[in-house]
Structure 1
């Protein structure tokens, strides 16, 4: 039996190679340009809602408490600057006034925010095209902010009333606010809060996630701090309005957001809308770095504690 031979024509081989090269170039040309960092969530582990919810609640609550405790004095100075009408002197005593009551609200609020954000983010990343990951992050940030607002607003109202010296304890503040203004008094400035914090949360988390995907968070952490600080500076006027509406109490000096803006500009000048911009930039800039650092560290720790990962480490 004659031996089997395979004849290869050099011209045919070159022609086949050229066709494959042309097809590859066509595929590259057809591939859409991506203007945002992308992630293929469909190739990752199956969607585990309860696990993501649990780890998000723990990580978010831990990060929120650490940031509030570390930077509370800066936040108090900011609040007093924004609440002061005209050129009133700022008192620097009692900078930790209301911290305990504030932490009682910050813990569940931060837990709810991240607890909603993480599952929503993963679900949206599996729904949206890869090149629209930024839209998924924006949407998840807004959903997390909306869910947490029901806890954050009463917490902010009580905190800022105590920071400005209206009450000496959180329980007393809640009791007196409800007695004089009704339950709605705990949600004073809710509209201005959403106007400021929903876009802020969405933009901040979107920037954070995009930088994390594109450049690795550990290498570009300083850029996250700058982006957070710039966002805080831009939204300072909204923060001033929120503070004035929250601390006015039953006096009802301002009838709403637009009336508040008009009154401040008329009585104190446009520059009053930028009160506290220095502490705001410092608080949000440093706080953003601490928050995301603690958040990621806690998430990594919880991931290592998963049964499947512990079993894998034992085998190794």
Structure 2
């Protein structure tokens, strides 16, 4: 990847990520509280809907930038060594590697954000300081494995579907798509991926919010899913699916549309 493309991906990805995370933060708070083991009302209900937003504001730009720089770099490397028929596999692989890298930044931000969302009486800094004091750096990375296990399947669905929908629409129109059309493809791809990966998102939330020292806090995704299934059944596994789909559909529209637009402008 050329230097110009590298910086275009970095700035476009960071800008798109920060925009969507801040715009859709209230929906994310509602989703987190619906998934909380304490229940929606006890976790704050509709009060303090922006609790934890400083953590998102700090982590969003570098997280999204890291993802897209890795994604575009891997696409360039893999496309040069594979046939056009393997494009979906290239997109899946590039997205998966991108998520592993981005989660190194995303998880600490997510841990602090989600704990602040279900404890609106505490400030983001207080939640951060308490996590460090009680659990150390490892506490900030609690749920890394479950986040990666959520994000990789999500990306395996979202990005190949986004690229496929763009190619299909472009082929039918006989020209390259406008940024808003790329955004519409992103909305459909994001919403579908969000729906099918909601149980993994529930498991990730439970692990991040679990009391230190509990079995759930150890990070076993299967154990967390089994516990949710036993206590709440099918509805528990898909808790928060509507706000999650809504947020990610809107997010896919803004995120992938803004990324496409900013990257084109920079290039």
Alpha-carbon deviations, 1:138-184, whole Å to 9, x = none?
Answer: 11111111110101111110110011016633332222112111211
Within the alignment, does 1:271 sit opposite 2:235 as a pair?
A: yes
The equivalent of 1:170 in structure 2 is 124
Choose which of 161, 164, 182 in structure 1 pairs with 2:136. 182
| 1:125 CA displacement | 1.3
Within the alignment, does 1:78 sit opposite 2:40 as a pair?
A: no
Tell me the TM-score normalised to structure 1 length.
0.76
Distance 1:96 1:148 in 2: 23
**Alpha-carbon distance change, 95 to 251 in structure 1, aligned in 2, over 3 angstroms:** farther
Cα RMSD of the aligned pairs, angstroms, is 1.9
Query: In the TM superposition, what are the counterparts of 1:94-105 in structure 2 within 5 Å?
Result: 94-105=48-59
Flag structure 1 segments of 5+ consecutive residues without an equivalent: 1-46, 304-316
The equivalent of 2:91 in structure 1 is 137
Distance 1:271 1:224 in 2: 27
Distance 1:302 1:102 in 2: 25
| 1:206 CA displacement | 1.7
On the 8 A contact 1:112/1:147 being kept in 2, the answer is yes
The equivalent of 1:246 in structure 2 is 208
| 1:221 CA displacement | 4.6
The equivalent of 1:211 in structure 2 is 165
| 1:237 CA displacement | 0.7
| 1:103 CA displacement | 1.4
On the 8 A contact 1:101/1:169 being kept in 2, the answer is no
| 1:263 CA displacement | 1.9
Within the alignment, does 1:195 sit opposite 2:157 as a pair?
A: no
The equivalent of 1:22 in structure 2 is none
On the 8 A contact 1:181/1:249 being kept in 2, the answer is no
On the 8 A contact 2:33/2:40 being kept in 1, the answer is no
On the 8 A contact 2:186/2:257 being kept in 1, the answer is no
Distance 1:117 1:221 in 2: 18
The equivalent of 1:226 in structure 2 is 188
Structure of greater Rg: 1
**Alpha-carbon distance change, 186 to 166 in structure 1, aligned in 2, over 3 angstroms:** farther
The equivalent of 2:264 in structure 1 is 300
Distance 1:249 1:59 in 2: 37
| 1:93 CA displacement | 1.2
The equivalent of 1:17 in structure 2 is none
**Alpha-carbon distance change, 239 to 81 in structure 1, aligned in 2, over 3 angstroms:** same
In the comparison of the two structures, how many residue pairs are matched?
256
Distance 2:166 2:67 in 1: 19
The equivalent of 2:173 in structure 1 is none
| 1:240 CA displacement | 0.5
Alpha-carbon deviations, 1:93-139, whole Å to 9, x = none?
Answer: 11111112211011110111111111211221111112211111111
Tell me the TM-score normalised to structure 2 length.
0.89
The equivalent of 1:235 in structure 2 is 197
On the 8 A contact 1:52/1:119 being kept in 2, the answer is no
**Structure having greater relative contact order (Cα 8 Å, sep ≥ 6):** 2
**Alpha-carbon distance change, 103 to 212 in structure 1, aligned in 2, over 3 angstroms:** same
Flag structure 2 segments of 5+ consecutive residues without an equivalent: 171-176
